[in-house]
Structure 1
Amino acid sequence: MFQDNPLLQQLKAQIKETLPTVEGQVKATERGFGFLETDKGDSHFIPPAYMKKVVHGDRVSAVLRTEKEKTVAEPDELLEVGLNRFIARVKFVKERLNVVPDHPLMREPMRAKCKGLKGSELSNGDYVVAQLVKHPLRPDEPHFQVEITELVAAHNDPHVPWWVVLAKHDLAKAEPADPQGWQTPEDNQRQDLTQLPFVTIDAESTKDMDDALYVESREQGGWWLHVAIADPTAYVEAGDEVDLEARKRGFTQYLPGFNVPMLPRQLADELCSLVEGQQRYAVVARIPVATDGSAGEADFSLATIASHAKLAYDKVSDRLEGLADAWQPQDPVIADQIDLLHQLALARIAWREQHALVFPDRPDYRFEVDEQGNVVTIHVEPRRIANRIVEETMILANSAAAVLLAERVGGGVFNVHAGLDSERVDAARQMLADNGLEFDGDRLQTLAGYCELRRALDAQPDGYLDARLRRMQAFSEMAATPGAHFGMGLQGYATWTSPIRKYGDMVNHRLLKAVIEGRQAESLPDAALIEHLTAMRKLHRLCERDVGDWLFARYLASKAGTDEVFVGEIIDINRGGVRLRLQENGAVVFLPAPLLTDDKSRLTLAGDQGLAQFDGEQVFRLSQILEVVIHEVRVANRNIVVAPRHKLA
């Protein structure tokens, strides 16, 4: 009765007009309340009752009022919805269809209706695609309501992690349509290099082999390195159906135990793949490399090649590392190729250590997944010498392509990295000085100065300063114009060595072909393409991480509450706790502050400095190693919570 009283409503409106308002974004918490974070950095408490009108991520205007002697924000007007198309789980409430968004901070069921499928076909826990159609902060919409448009996976589907992550980002989960009837086009202008003993070095299971190597000694010392790259643009014309789909996808999507090709599998795994004993079209770079590892000007050509051996990383590494009973090639020519490639790679590593930058040796973690989607085990794979051989030759080939494209074309798809964020150079210089490393701010913004900095950090006794500085770096980007790559210490870097897997490499192939054939390039990549490829690269990495987090949670769920000890490296410190990466399997886990000590008032977590103090004394910092046990695993939220093996006193 009182709600419908117009005088009361008028009085409420008059009172609201006298109260201050703020705009900001809603941040939910697991405990039901939330905060309104303003653009100025202010934070206002939103009680649980008011949070029922909004969802995490909503941008709203809110009224600030005092309740129980505390200032709170009451969301009043929706400025931008934080939830649009999203993944949710079905939940029947009193036999009525509802969904709960698949988000760790969203737990409230929302009323739902179906579009294009029947509610009777759904069960509790099924994953669906949903669209928000009603929001309680909109006029005449008293509650949330969503529309279910697609079933993603049944609750008992073992492949839920893969299907949900791909659906979340609206990415394809199958290979592109294959037009069939592919024919190798006639090309009499290509050099016949089929007699040269090219070899491929990949994982045992690799099918889409896109690079092959051949090396020969030079009379004056050093080597001629031949890098042959598969040539899908011999089959795929710019602008045709397959090309447009490849452009849309941007990359082959690699997920644990599963991949979604950028090109039809008949092209990627068969016609273009550099299969042993099969003639294949290739773009070839012939690069002179001196005994000190320095490289001269590369010569690019179109050729027909044939791989003479499919080699595996582990077998080649076993042989070169001198392991007992290691695999040995039966063909002495192949053995000679392996040895020459090894010599060349060592020279290049030494050259890059002095004149550029070399990546730190960190292991890769590979999930072994069975057909039912279960994680059998997680393999820790260090970067061994065979991996380094391929890495060094690809870096050399891509930097050579950058030089040619910059000088002869003036554009292409380049990977660029500016080093330190220009707005954080002064903060970086001060942080370094506080820790005994003096650098001039202007020099830090040069390639040579940045390389000096990275070498100084590599010489530190631990990774603390390196971890802090990484937060001050610019992001690696893609660009249509040449630029330096500070992160690699190179003047330029333009990838063309993975055209089966990367659309930008296909673009660079077409530009390289124009130079080889002495003609004008038909078109250069524009800003729209670069923006799209950048977004897709980021999205694909996010998908790989999201599936990995889910599988880590599944894998470690049985360890929760046990005494099994894991070793973790601290990768982040914030006011809520500590984030670590487990060395045994690569999982990223969270150690909440309340689990570190029974008296949180004695604990200070300084995220800006990457330090933790207890009673004013430093107890740990970024890059430090901690022993932890698995405290709790929430598989549905992909959260792994750990506790320290020994609490702070």
Structure 2
Amino acid sequence: MQNALLKNNDLLAQLKGQLRAATPRIEGRVKGTEKGFGFLEAEDGKSYFISPPNMKKVLHGDRIQAALHEEQDRKGEMKQTAEPETLIEPSLTRFIGRIQRVQGKLAVVPDHPQLNQPLKGKTVSGLDEASLTDGDWVVAHLERHPLKPKDNSFFVEVTELIAKDQDHYAPWWVILARHALPKDQPEINQAWQLEDPAELVREDLTHLPFVTIDSAQTKDMDDALCIRPRADGGWTLWVAIADPSAYVAEGSPADIEAKARAFTLYLPARTITMLPKPLSDDLCSLMPKVRRPALVARLEVAADGQLADTPHFCAAWITSQAKLDYQLVSDWLDEPKAASWQPDSEEQAAQLQHLAQLAQQRLAWRHTHALVFKETPDYRFVLDEAGQVIDIQTEERRVAHRLVEEAMLLANLALADLLSRELGQGVFNTHVGFEADQAEQVLKLLEENGLKTEAGQTFDAEYLASLAGFCDLRRQLDALPSGWLDARLRKYQGFSLLSLTPAPHFGLGVSAYATWTSPIRKYGDLLNHRLLKAWLIQTQPHPLDDQLAEALSSARKINRMAERDVKDWLYARFLADQVGQSFAAQIFSINRGGMKVRLVDNGAAVFIPASTIHANRDELICDGEQGWVMIQDQIHYRLTDQVQIELTEVRVDQRALVGRLISSNE
């Protein structure tokens, strides 16, 4: 009898193995829903239903392998469903969440709009579990997953308390923790000493009337300007840049920390410096009436705005005569007699007028010979002492911003040329224009919309891939009355990246571009200072680390994401009590789920669900590829259209704003 049972069990196991082997399987990513069920999104675009019981084995975003089964739905139709079997890649490893006690036991709810499931857990040694209360923000790590071998449930380990539930500064601390960014400036205790190479000679330029022009709150002033008209027309422009490389030696603790941070991080109402503050805000800052070390470019600019001669670079001592404010300088340049602020002297007044004239001519030159970005406003969050947003102010780019920007562009182009010719290496900003594999789509779109080259020819792939061809197209796009085609084409463009060898920057319309004008704030600029110094003293610089460009590009991307995430949170807080109000907005994104618009007054992004655009979904097409919304086969809205919207919902916990269209301002 016992032998018969064993034999039957063996046959049963064999049968189950055969059935399992015959069951089809699929890999994909889990997509959860608020109703408890989910879907497995496969790479081939197909979607498979996951039942609520099976969804308890996985999390939204998990990459899994699942068995496919044929089941009959309520309508009697057969459909394929997915049964999760193997975890390929979890959506959570290290994550940010909020404490939620479940029957008195510790659990963490991930901070994600699609993950609202409390995950049971414990704290690491040294973190007092009893001190954690509901709503506290923590860092947690997923230790167990039901699809892992020998695991039968989710379990997490809490490793860090980020912020208490009622901390108004939680947006900053949470976002910094999410991106693993430091909360404070570097703390490096040492006696800072200027250490120039013995061969480096600094010119004494303290007699030149340099001035800095910055925001009123700026402390890390890293550029100063001086200008004189030339007898034959045009100007001589001196651009002096703060020299932190004089204090931060290669391989020193400050250098290692600066390399890890890569950039100063500018969040609303909070700046986290790349260098220790004694350097960024004092010793290296070009403060007024204080002698400071600098690297200086002397640029000869013709009356039409073109660089006239070979730039001269040197190490120097300078003394800024004044710290001027963007807004006050702009007011004075716009209406000298009516402005509340007046220059200290006739010399200073003349300097500002010459800088404005140079900027005007240089801008005109770039419109013809390079490219000029369209100006967009900045938005400044105003907070009270408790960290609450009390206002969001629009800061338009004015004449003083433009004159500083044009001077910095000139200096950066001059250094890029030197590094390219003399050293063949540096930290260069590059942009490839359109991605090579997107050229066919771009050419088709240009043909459909009747765009020709400046010479009246049809665009071809070779010309489009050239710097001249890209500039030709961009100037034509800028001249169009609607930004719709430009917005459509931008999705086919590559991203701006950093490179250690010279390469064109299509977005600026130049053959090479390398920044060195913000060495207090950018590690790449600090490296370019070292390369410039090596050239000045005629020594061979160390080859730059091959991994550096990718690391700096990645750090820049993370910083931008952190800035965006904090702003999204503050927007939600600020607009939470403005539900029901109407706003002017511009459409900047369209997909099948609806559209996104940006509020003109403050820059906030608001989602407009397709269901609110038109009641009959069968008559509505939200086409992200074409960049338009069609209702009953008629185009009603396109990218860049101006619209009026009503804010209908603010989800502060998800940092999401939802609205509905009121009218179009076409």
- The bucket for the TM-score relative to the shorter chain is over 0.9
Which residue of structure 2 aligns with residue 316 of structure 1?
329
SS at match of 2:322: strand
SS at match of 2:653: helix
CA distance in 1, matches of 2:13, 2:629: 52
Question: Which of the numbers 121, 142, 163 marks the counterpart of 1:153?
Answer: 163
Question: Which of the numbers 602, 605, 609 marks the counterpart of 2:619?
Answer: 602
Report the TM-score when normalising by structure 1: 0.96
Q: Would the aligned equivalents of 2:471 and 2:506 in 1 still touch at CA under 8 Å?
A: yes
Aligned residue identity for 1:317: S
SS at match of 2:282: helix
Aligned residue identity for 1:312: D
Q: Quick one: structure 1 residues 8 and 569, their matched pair in 2 at CA, closer, same or farther if it must change by over 3 Å?
A: farther
Question: Which of the numbers 525, 531, 543 marks the counterpart of 1:524?
Answer: 543
Which residue of structure 1 aligns with residue 95 of structure 2?
86
Counting only pairs closer than 5 Å after superposition, residues 263-274 of structure 1 correspond to structure 2 as 263-274=275-286
Aligned residue identity for 2:507: G
Counting only pairs closer than 5 Å after superposition, residues 206-221 of structure 1 correspond to structure 2 as 206-221=218-233
SS at match of 1:89: strand
Which residue of structure 1 aligns with residue 348 of structure 2?
334
CA distance in 2, matches of 1:440, 1:416: 23
Q: Would the aligned equivalents of 2:426 and 2:501 in 1 still touch at CA under 8 Å?
A: yes
Which residue of structure 1 aligns with residue 120 of structure 2?
111
CA distance in 1, matches of 2:537, 2:419: 14
1:29 Cα deviation after fit: 3.5
Structure 2 residue 632 is matched with structure 1 residue 615: yes
Question: Which of the numbers 181, 185, 191 marks the counterpart of 2:191?
Answer: 181
Q: Would the aligned equivalents of 1:178 and 1:266 in 2 still touch at CA under 8 Å?
A: no
Q: Would the aligned equivalents of 1:30 and 1:104 in 2 still touch at CA under 8 Å?
A: no
CA distance in 2, matches of 1:555, 1:30: 26
CA distance in 1, matches of 2:486, 2:38: 34
Q: Quick one: structure 1 residues 325 and 221, their matched pair in 2 at CA, closer, same or farther if it must change by over 3 Å?
A: closer
Unaligned runs of 5+ in 2: 1-8, 453-458
Q: Would the aligned equivalents of 1:28 and 1:56 in 2 still touch at CA under 8 Å?
A: yes
SS at match of 1:354: helix
Per-residue CA deviations over 1:482-511 (Å, capped at 9, x if unaligned) read 000000001110011000000001100000
Question: Which of the numbers 314, 319, 325 marks the counterpart of 1:301?
Answer: 314
Per-residue CA deviations over 1:386-442 (Å, capped at 9, x if unaligned) read 111111111111111110001111101000001001110110111111111132221
Q: Quick one: structure 1 residues 55 and 221, their matched pair in 2 at CA, closer, same or farther if it must change by over 3 Å?
A: same
Which residue of structure 1 aligns with residue 568 of structure 2?
549
Q: Quick one: structure 1 residues 548 and 31, their matched pair in 2 at CA, closer, same or farther if it must change by over 3 Å?
A: farther
1:9 Cα deviation after fit: 7.7
1:216 Cα deviation after fit: 1.0
Per-residue CA deviations over 1:216-259 (Å, capped at 9, x if unaligned) read 11122111111100000000100011100000000001101101
Aligned residue identity for 1:478: L
1:12 Cα deviation after fit: 5.6
Question: Which of the numbers 493, 508, 511 marks the counterpart of 1:491?
Answer: 511
1:292 Cα deviation after fit: 0.6
CA distance in 2, matches of 1:431, 1:404: 39
Which residue of structure 1 aligns with residue 32 of structure 2?
28
Q: Quick one: structure 1 residues 65 and 298, their matched pair in 2 at CA, closer, same or farther if it must change by over 3 Å?
A: same
Q: Would the aligned equivalents of 2:186 and 2:274 in 1 still touch at CA under 8 Å?
A: yes
Counting only pairs closer than 5 Å after superposition, residues 227-626 of structure 1 correspond to structure 2 as 227-295=239-307, 296-322=309-335, 324-438=338-452, 439-521=459-541, 523-560=542-579, 562=580, 564-626=581-643
Aligned residue identity for 2:654: N
Aligned residue identity for 2:148: R
Aligned residue identity for 2:256: L
SS at match of 1:291: coil
1:176 Cα deviation after fit: 0.5
1:49 Cα deviation after fit: 2.7
Over the matched positions of the two proteins, sequence identity in percent amounts to 50
SS at match of 1:248: helix
Aligned residue identity for 1:223: W
Q: Would the aligned equivalents of 1:176 and 1:245 in 2 still touch at CA under 8 Å?
A: yes
SS at match of 1:347: helix
CA distance in 2, matches of 1:153, 1:525: 39
Structure 2 residue 654 is matched with structure 1 residue 642: no
1:57 Cα deviation after fit: 2.3
Larger Rg: 2
Q: Would the aligned equivalents of 2:589 and 2:624 in 1 still touch at CA under 8 Å?
A: yes
Q: Would the aligned equivalents of 1:98 and 1:112 in 2 still touch at CA under 8 Å?
A: yes
Q: Would the aligned equivalents of 1:232 and 1:499 in 2 still touch at CA under 8 Å?
A: yes
SS at match of 1:501: coil
Unaligned runs of 5+ in 1: none
SS at match of 1:93: coil
CA distance in 1, matches of 2:51, 2:554: 36
1:55 Cα deviation after fit: 1.5
Deviates more, 1:24-33 or 1:125-134: 24-33
CA distance in 2, matches of 1:391, 1:33: 53
Q: Would the aligned equivalents of 1:412 and 1:524 in 2 still touch at CA under 8 Å?
A: no
